[in-house]
Amino acid sequence: GNSVTQMEGPVTLSEEAFLTINCTYTATGYPSLFWYVQYPGEGLQLLLKATKADDKGSNKGFEATYRKETTSFHLGKGSVQVSDSAVYFCALSDQGSGTYKYIFGTGTRLKVLA
Amino acid sequence: GAGVSQSPSNKVTEKGKDVELRCDPISGHTALYWYRQSLGQGLEFLIYFQGNSAPDKSGLPSDRFSAERTGGSVSTLTIQRTQQEDSAVYLCASSRLTSGATYEQYFGPGTRLTVT
């Protein structure tokens, strides 16, 4: 079945450091891919998305490119801020089921130190 | 506009009692999803509603769980005879449309359920 694998956390970085959070997926067909962020005490918010191969999603300085050849959707940011501290979830939309339900990775906690 | 709302935000119940969790999706969103977020299992799909179609209940963990969606809008997730392993945050999400396109899901703040 479809699945999403994310790198284990927590990830601790100093402010202005470069961030990469790895995400790979297994899916039949061509799923859409998403990154959601969950700030402390808040709900899940869409960070960015990509709906087809080679698409690049971007938002708030974060970027991720849909790589079909490596089945990956790694999240990156050139310079993190303390306010980026949160849990990041990679997800795919399960097209094959007809429901487009999300299959999530386990989440990666990011802590950015001033 | 208003986002997805859920109530209650927190619920503490005794083992064996029934609970009802409510979700108000974004107006005009025809697709509605319930997920569960727990420490041991991460984020997992529970059930999906789309318009007047039969719901996809494939993610419900047991027959103690049920859900309905009235009038294509508000949804209620019911857990009967709660167990401690039901303790989790229950998330509701809605989406504009699924057929032929992928629209992102918008999540509510969740209901934190604690079974004592």
Cα–Cα distance list, B91 to A71, A92, B9, B57 (Å):
27, 17, 10, 15
- As a whole-number percent, the residues of chain A with pLDDT over 90 amount to 79
Residue B98 in contact with partner chain A when CB distance is under 8 A? yes
At residue B99, does pLDDT exceed 80? no
* CA-closest candidate to residue A110, choices A9, A6, A7: A9
At residue B103, does pLDDT exceed 80? no
- As a whole-number percent, the residues of chain B with pLDDT over 90 amount to 75
- A62-76, B22-36, B99-113: lowest mean pLDDT where? B99-113
Query: Which is more confidently placed, A74 or A52?
Result: A74
Residue B1 pLDDT level (bands cut at 50, 70, 90): low
Cα(B110)–Cα(B7) distance, rounded to whole angstroms? 8
**For B39, nearest residue in chain A (alpha carbons):** A106
Residues of B with CB below 8 A from A51's CB?
102
Residues of B with CB below 8 A from A100's CB?
31, 95, 98, 102
Cα(A34)–Cα(A98) distance, rounded to whole angstroms? 18
At residue B39, does pLDDT exceed 90? no
Residue A104 in contact with partner chain B when CB distance is under 8 A? yes
Identity of the residue numbered B57: K
Residue B30 in contact with partner chain A when CB distance is under 8 A? no
Kind of pairing between the strands at A11-14 and A108-113? parallel
Query: Which is more confidently placed, B44 or B42?
Result: B44
Residues of A with CB below 8 A from B43's CB?
89, 91, 102, 104, 107
On whether the CB atoms of residues B49 and B32 are closer than 8 A, the answer is yes
Residue A10, preceding peptide bond in cis (omega within 30° of 0): yes
Residue B14 in contact with partner chain A when CB distance is under 8 A? no
Helix (H) or strand (E) holding A26: strand A23-26
**For B104, nearest residue in chain A (alpha carbons):** A46
Residue A32 pLDDT level (bands cut at 50, 70, 90): very high
At residue A21, does pLDDT exceed 80? yes
Report the Cα A3 to chain-centroid distance in Å: 14
Residue B55 in contact with partner chain A when CB distance is under 8 A? no
CA atoms within 13 A on the CB side of A6: 27
Cα(A65)–Cα(B106) distance, rounded to whole angstroms? 22
Please give the structure tokens belonging to residue B3. Answer: 């986002």
pLDDT value for B54: 87
Task: For residue A76, count other CB atoms closer than 10 A to its CB.
Answer: 15
Residues of B with CB below 8 A from A57's CB?
none
What is the average pLDDT value for chain A, to the nearest integer? 93
At residue B30, does pLDDT exceed 80? yes
Residues of B with CB below 8 A from A43's CB?
91, 107-110
- As a whole-number percent, the residues of chain A with pLDDT over 70 amount to 100
Sign of the alpha-carbon torsion through B32, B37, B42, B44 = negative
Beta-strand (E) ranges in A29-95?
A: 32-38, 44-50, 56-59, 62-65, 75-77, 86-93
* CA-closest candidate to residue B39, choices B91, B85, B78: B85
Enter the DSSP assignment of B28: T
At B31, is the secondary structure helix, strand, or coil? strand
- Binary contact (B48, A101; C-beta < 8 A): yes
* Burial of residue B14 (number of CB atoms within 10 Å: 0-12, 13-18, 19+): exposed
Residue B36 Cα, gap to closest chain A Cα (Å):
11
- Give the pLDDT mean for A81-86: 97
